[in-house]
Structure 1
Amino acid sequence: MDREVEREEELGHSDIEAALATRRELGARYDAELVDGFAERIERAVERRVADRTALEQRRTASAGNGRTRQFVLGIVSVGVGVPITIVPTVAAGGVSGVVAVIVGWTGIVGVNAAHAWQSREH
């Protein structure tokens, strides 16, 4: 049903030709009514297009805001997880093996954050 309404409100070259043909048939005394009817159709088409664009912008804005919030939360969680990943290997293993464990742990955290940020930018 919505498709039929869209087709009725679509304005094209054939609509202009139809209005001119109607004017020729009815004569000049119906010019005001023909112009008013055509103007109303144009207004409806413009309003529909503006509403469509506004809705699209709102969806884009909401999506971008949601992605920033998720990225922020992921950053906070990463720092929270990073503290024990740094402390435990340093205290328990110490030396070179502790440093390697910390590097591996933080590389994983950075990888997860980078993958999330990259994925969020694509959408």
Structure 2
Amino acid sequence: MDTRQDDLRRDLDATLQARKELGKEYEDELLDSFMKRLDARLDARVERSVARRLDDEPRSHHDRHRARRQGWGKRSGTGLAVVSMAFGIPLTAIAGDAANGGFAGLMVCWAGIVGVNVAAAFGERRNHQDRRPRDDWD
């Protein structure tokens, strides 16, 4: 048995001895105290395990996730703007044709493109604000 199990066994034995000496009226308090110590040990063990896994994780994995967050990933407003312009050029040609609505078609087309970009920008801004830590004044 390792030392952690020995310590746990000693704590349990001490709790049982205290119960025998104090009686059943203190059983709940003794059990709560033991469970709090057990929870603290489990929390510390989980934190050590997570820290160890994060230290063992290859740096390229971190770099990949950072590039995805900063680059052309889901949260990139630049990507949406470029795609909007790429689709906007042929849509302008189609909507601006007199047979397809002329100037009114052109306005509807570009209003849609601007609307999509504005909605994405506000959505990104709201997501960014949701991730911001709150204080008592918010």
Normalising by structure 2, report the TM-score: 0.39
Normalising by structure 1, report the TM-score: 0.43
**Which is bigger in relative contact order (C-alpha 8 A, separation at least 6)?**
1
